[in-house]
Amino acid sequence: MKRILLTGSTGFIGCRLLKLLESSKCEIRLLSRQPHSDYETIVCDLGKKQVPDSALVSIDTVFHLAGYAHDLRDATSVENRYQAINVEATVQLAKLAAQHGVKYFIFVSSVKAGGSAIACRCMTEENQGEPEEIYGRTKREAELKLLEIGRQSDIHITIVRPSLVYGPGVKGNLRMMLSGIEKGWFPPLPEVENRRSMIHVDDLVRALLLVAEDERANGEIFIATDGLPHSSREIYKAICQAVGKTVPGWSVPKFLFDWLSLLSPRIRYKVDKLLGDEYYSSEKLEGMDFRAEKSLRDFDKSDFSVGSSHLSRKDAKAQREK
């Protein structure tokens, strides 16, 4: 029986991975700030404490999802926390795992670690630029240090960079877009034929399990997408349909967004995030026999629902017995 250590189990991706792990024959241990009612939990705040040795005893595989992102304050004011959680805690956990003979260490990074996407280009793992934001910089620093740990020890290090992830419990910009469309204030986006990459959270967690079981993934970085390009207009229409809203027959002209971009660098950044290209190739991951099972074209409102999708084992059993 495999023995798994999971960090970030209460997060958007982590709770879905935990749900999938529950269906497999493995022994699960959590590293979390709060104890879990169903699983052995090593209580530890990665931003404040050293990871205790007991967390890695008898563990075969580590899935490290815990991280620090999306702070609404000025990033420079919380730079130390980004560094402490995304880099220092990650490196410490990997070194401890290597010391305890852990076989596999899977790190969930971000496409932001590869630097800014380039317009009109499908980015690959080889297109490594300098990350502009602190989140991407700290994820990239962690990646480099993890790969070095892998080279100096017997532990297998694998890094997965998800593109924009959607699904139950989604947060961030997609959550805001859904809320705005539901409440009627989000503007109908124009079709500018930009290309954005996405992946459903359930496909992502399947990819994590896939690379964890394949020796070819050792020392590699994989970008995870559903393999399809999506324009911002397509995403807007898909969300409208999912929440039962009629897609307007008109859209805000692109020149108005261009004009707004001239007002300040902050607004220009937001417009670029909304209508720019962020397109990535998952060909390398597909070479490991990964195929996405879900698409933005066939999701429903539940894929953007709020809150954790994880049920306790007792609740899940009760649901099955109904």
Tell whether the model's pLDDT for residue 119 goes beyond 50. Answer: yes
For the beta carbon of residue 257, count every other beta carbon within 10 angstroms: 20
pLDDT value for 87: 97
Residue pair 51/58 in contact by the 8 Å Cβ criterion: no
**pTM > 0.85: yes or no:** yes
Tell whether the model's pLDDT for residue 71 goes beyond 90. Answer: no
* Cβ contacts of 270 within 8 Å, gap of 6 or more: none
Question: Is 311 or 185 the better-scoring residue by pLDDT?
Answer: 185
Q: What is the mean predicted confidence (pLDDT) over 166-186?
A: 88
**Residues forming beta bridges with residue 2, ordered by sequence position:** 26
% residues pLDDT > 90 (the chain): 74
At 42-64, the pLDDT tens digits run 999 998 889 999 999 999 999 99
% residues pLDDT > 70 (the chain): 90
Q: In three state form, how does the secondary structure of 266-308 look?
A: HHHHHHHHHHCCECECCHHHHCCCCCCCCCHHHCCHHHHCCCC
pLDDT value for 73: 57
